[in-house]
Copies of this chain bind each other. A is one copy, B any other.
Amino acid sequence: MRSPKSVVVTGSNRGLGFGLIQQFLKDPNVEIVIATSRDIEKATALKSISDPRLHILQLSLGCDESINSFAQKVSEIVGDTGLTLLINNAAVMLPYVTKQEPDRKIVNDLFESNTIGPMILTQKLIPLIIKSSKSEEGSTLSVSRGAIINIASEFLGSISENTSGSGEYKAMAYRMTKCAVNQFTKTLSIDLREDYVLSAGICPGKVQTDMSKGKGEFTIEEASAQLIETFKKLDERHNGGYFRKDLSVIPY
């Protein structure tokens, strides 16, 4: 149950991402915490934190130049020990329903932010994560060795548990983007197993964020604290899986 030495959390200027940054900074064993925001100007909460371990970097998942520049900066910050943990948390929710006039731009934006951008970012950071994982001996997997965690959505990502369709959140396209990420997680877990990198999708539950319009069961602080305890429990058994934060399995 060791802590990651370094961590990147995307979309961390507010909501759950910001909560995760706060929690990681409470852990003295975490040496480097990298927060990202599309617009650093607006990341006032992050900028009010005074901790030399915190690095705030601009990142737009829709832009290759931004991703490349970000990956370069992360490489410089983490140095020879590599990056221990990437948390793909950034996502957007835009309403889109079956029975509407199609709008390709909305759908493209959702896939870009929630699926394609995180995939490209992950690919760019994989060499740094492998560098961290390869610095340990043995074949164990853990978030303190080298890991990719995709923040998932049980309620909107699971196909089996989809009983409301477009539903209250008008989440037709959003559901598709999050389900594709589950397939991404599974693929990563197989392709990176030889490098001792762990991949998992973890659902935070219903959190009181802007995205859920405040209708959550947990505060951001509660959810982030619980999530970090969950991350530390991840091992071989969880590689490639889709879990609630109590590590019970969510059906795809």
Give residues in A with beta carbon < 8 Å to B.
64, 67, 97-102, 104, 107-108, 111, 115-116, 119-120, 123-124, 126, 159-160, 162-166, 172-173, 175-177, 179-184, 186-192, 242, 251-252
Contact = CB atoms under 8 A, between A and B. Distances in A.
Contact of A186 (B162, B188, B191, B242): B162
Contacts of A162: 183, 186-187, 190
Counting every copy of the chain, the complex holds 2
Does more than half of chain A's interface fall in helix, strand or loop, or is it mixed?
A: helix
A127 to B, nearest CB: 9
Contacts of A189: 165
A119 B173 CA distance: 9
Contact of A187 (B120, B123, B175): B175
A94 to B, nearest CB: 14
Contacts of A190: 162-166
Given A104-B120, A183-B159, A251-B252, A98 B175 contact: no
A126 B99 contact: yes
Nearest to A184: B176
B166 A176 contact: no
A244 to B, nearest CB: 16
